[in-house]
């Protein structure tokens, strides 16, 4: 007999404050609103599951002025549903209940319910990361800014022991960015430091190939989204002629024709942000389709708090990939939720000796 339960849902909003002005292709971020979803059974109130819905400014499908009102309405509707005590049942049910245009809400509910099913201990999925505390390699992220700020970050990440560096470009003069890459390569070979670049669609289709040729001189492992999303024909041409591997990122947002996109563009890699692509089930499907086509992938957080980051890290761990993931965003905020997540020497770890702060 299948056990079912009717859960009650509520949420807490927190405005996270960045430790520095975080430069992105969509402007400078100083704060970030996140919504922590709580799932509980009134008959068993001591167990609480937590998830995070955090649409990313100017990028997520569900980044909109009425997001909080929609979240509130959605949670009221979810309180009427019954849930089986089974992971796959929960994930498929939520896919049917939460429209594709609300990926952050779906991901937050997936996480909250699975956490509740697993006893409210922040264990979302069976994974070596949580269950046996196996660390996951991550890249060190270099934020956009002026030359001195970016140079300072590079030196800090190298001194902290990262052997994979991801540099966001497009905010300053291209020649200055080339100079910064030359600085890294003058000190470390490609065998010592893996370099990734994130262009966030900063290049025009006309200039992209020439810029990729310049960048390839520095033994770049990959470049994310060199041209704006939506230009499938131009991106396909780039993926054929590129001197360095291209990874699709923003290109995946809102796409329902996953197979069609992968078959038409044929990228070397894809990058998966569960908050943006629709949560756990959708991310698993992207990976399955990519691996069928020998397309590489890695997972990246999208500036979530530690609740969302914990879920994404556990999801990444279920696949056992040895490729550095983009999961180093936990220290970005002054007022992040305290957690057992730790970053040391280029790895993220779950330190069970530390406790979770209760969301408030």
Return the domain boundaries, the chain.
Answer: 4-117, 128-350
CATH number among 3.20.20.120, 3.10.129.10, 3.60.10.10, 3.20.20.80, domain 128-350:
3.20.20.120
Residue range 148-170, pLDDT digits in tens: 888 899 899 999 999 999 998 88
What strand order describes the sheet that includes 194-198?
140-142, 164-168, 194-198, 220-224, 246-248, 269-272, 296-299
- Whether the pLDDT of residue 25 is over 70: the answer is no
pLDDT at residue 145, rounded to an integer: 81
pLDDT at residue 332, rounded to an integer: 92
13 touches 68 (CB < 8 A): yes
- The answer for 206, left when phi > 0, alpha when psi is -120 to 50, beta otherwise, is alpha
pLDDT at residue 1, rounded to an integer: 54
Residue range 227-272, pLDDT digits in tens: 999 999 999 999 999 999 999 999 999 999 999 999 999 999 999 9
pLDDT at residue 353, rounded to an integer: 95
Give residue for tokens 């691996």: 291
In whole angstroms, what separates CA 4 from the centre of its chain?
Answer: 31
pLDDT at residue 21, rounded to an integer: 83
How far apart (Å, rounded) are the C-alpha atoms in residues 237 and 257? Answer: 20
For the chain, the maximum distance between any two Cα atoms, rounded to a whole number of angstroms, is: 66
Angle, helices 103-117/87-97, rounded to nearest 10 degrees: 150
Task: Spell out the residues 6+ positions from residue 191 whose beta carbon is closer than 8 angstroms to its own.
Answer: none
Residue range 86-139, pLDDT digits in tens: 999 999 999 999 999 999 999 999 999 999 999 999 999 999 999 999 999 999
pLDDT at residue 150, rounded to an integer: 85
Which residues are annotated as catalytic? 168, 273
Mean pLDDT to the nearest integer, 188-201: 94
Compute the Cα dihedral for 242, 247, 253, 255 and give only its sign: positive
pLDDT at residue 96, rounded to an integer: 98
How far apart (Å, rounded) are the C-alpha atoms in residues 312 and 304? Answer: 10
Which homologous superfamily does the CATH classification assign to the domain defined by 4-117? Answer: Enolase-like, N-terminal domain (3.30.390.10)
97 touches 78 (CB < 8 A): yes
């Amino acid at each position: 007999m299948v056990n079912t339960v009717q859960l009650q849902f509520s949420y807490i909003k927190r405005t996270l404050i960045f430790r520095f002005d975080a430069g992105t292709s969509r402007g400078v971020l100083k704060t970030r609103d996140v919504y922590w979803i709580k799932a509980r059974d009134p008959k068993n109130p001591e167990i609480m599951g937590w998830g995070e819905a955090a649409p990313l400014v100017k990028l997520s499908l569900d980044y909109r002025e009425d997001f909080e009102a929609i979240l509130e309405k959605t949670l009221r509707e979810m309180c009427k549903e019954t849930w089986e005590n089974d992971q796959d049942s929960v994930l498929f049910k939520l896919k049917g209940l939460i429209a594709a245009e609300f990926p952050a809400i779906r991901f937050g509910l997936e996480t909250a319910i699975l956490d509740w099913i697993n006893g409210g201990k922040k264990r979302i999925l069976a994974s070596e990361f949580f269950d046996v505390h196996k660390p996951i390699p991550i890249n060190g992220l270099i934020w956009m800014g002026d030359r001195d700020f970016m140079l300072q970050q590079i030196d800090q990440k190298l001194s902290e022991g990262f052997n994979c560096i991801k540099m966001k470009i497009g905010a300053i003069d291209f020649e200055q960015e080339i100079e910064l890459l030359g600085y890294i390569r003058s000190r470390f070979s490609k065998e010592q430091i893996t370099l990734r670049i994130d262009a966030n669609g900063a290049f025009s289709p006309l200039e992209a190939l020439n810029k990729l040729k310049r960048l390839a001189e520095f033994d770049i492992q990959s470049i994310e989204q060199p041209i704006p999303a939506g230009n499938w024909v131009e991106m396909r041409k780039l993926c054929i002629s590129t001197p360095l591997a291209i990874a699709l990122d923003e290109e995946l947002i809102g796409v329902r024709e996953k197979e069609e996109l992968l078959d038409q563009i044929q990228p070397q890699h894809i990058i998966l942000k569960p908050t943006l692509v629709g949560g756990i089930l959708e991310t698993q499907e992207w990976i399955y389709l990519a691996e069928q086509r020998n397309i590489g992938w890695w997972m990246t957080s999208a500036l979530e708090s530690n609740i969302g980051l914990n879920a994404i890290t556990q999801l990444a761990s279920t696949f056992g990939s040895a490729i550095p993931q983009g999961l180093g965003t936990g220290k970005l905020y002054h007022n992040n939720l305290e957690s057992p997540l730790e970053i040391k020497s280029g790895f993220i770890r779950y330190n069970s000796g530390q406790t979770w702060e209760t969301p408030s």
